[in-house]
Amino acid sequence: MDQEIIAAVREVERAEAAAKQYFDMLWRIRDHLRIQQTEDDTPIPLARAVCHPILGGILRRDPRADVPGPAFTKASLELAIRKGTLQAVWKNNKLHVTPAALRAWVTLSEKERKQPPLKVAYENLDIKSNREKQQAMTSQNLLQQQLAALKAARKKGRK
């Protein structure tokens, strides 16, 4: 009877080990399917770019489950864009970077990455805030009103 119990225990242990191996494989597949696959030219918002695997994070399909990398923040990426060492594009009024640009930026030497900011980086993007746009429209409207008033005064002077 002892031999039967020992054989049954061993069979249960083997079944538990096989089930554990099976469930571990399922969890790995599940995690792999949750990871966001990106092409080299896919624009990624800066808030999510810090979670890209190139920067040591985990970029998942659900943005709430993203895991940022340990070394880079959104501010450090913005600084690199201002310096001109990281290429970015504007899309829907937000800065986006591509995995190719991140890879090129990460492979830069420490000396190249710490160069002083270039003014050209933001001048080329032609960025205006909503406040600046409103001020420009207001000044254009004022100018048009003044021109209309001058034309009206000129017409009165001729009569």
Residue that is written with structure tokens 């940022």 in the block: 68
Show the CA angle centred on residue 77, arms to residues 73 and 83, nearest 5°.
Answer: 145
Distance of CA 22 to the CA centre of its chain: 36
Domain boundaries, the chain: 1-34, 36-125, 128-159
Count Cα neighbours of 84 within 13 Å in the Cβ-side half-sphere: 12
Q: What are phi and psi of 13, to 5 degrees?
A: -60, -40
The pLDDT tens digits for 77-116 are 998 888 888 889 888 888 999 999 998 888 887 777 666 6
Q: Which two tokens stand for residue 97?
A: 């970077």
Query: Mean pLDDT in the chain?
Result: 81
Q: What are phi and psi of 43, to 5 degrees?
A: -70, 135
CB atoms within 10 A of CB 77: 21
Per-residue tens of pLDDT for the chain, all 159 residues = 688 889 989 999 999 999 999 888 888 877 766 666 677 888 999 888 998 888 888 888 788 888 888 888 999 899 888 888 888 988 888 899 999 999 888 888 777 766 665 554 444 455 667 777 788 788 788 888 888 888 888 887 766
Q: Which two tokens stand for residue 64?
A: 């709430």
Helix H or strand E encompassing 45: strand 44-45
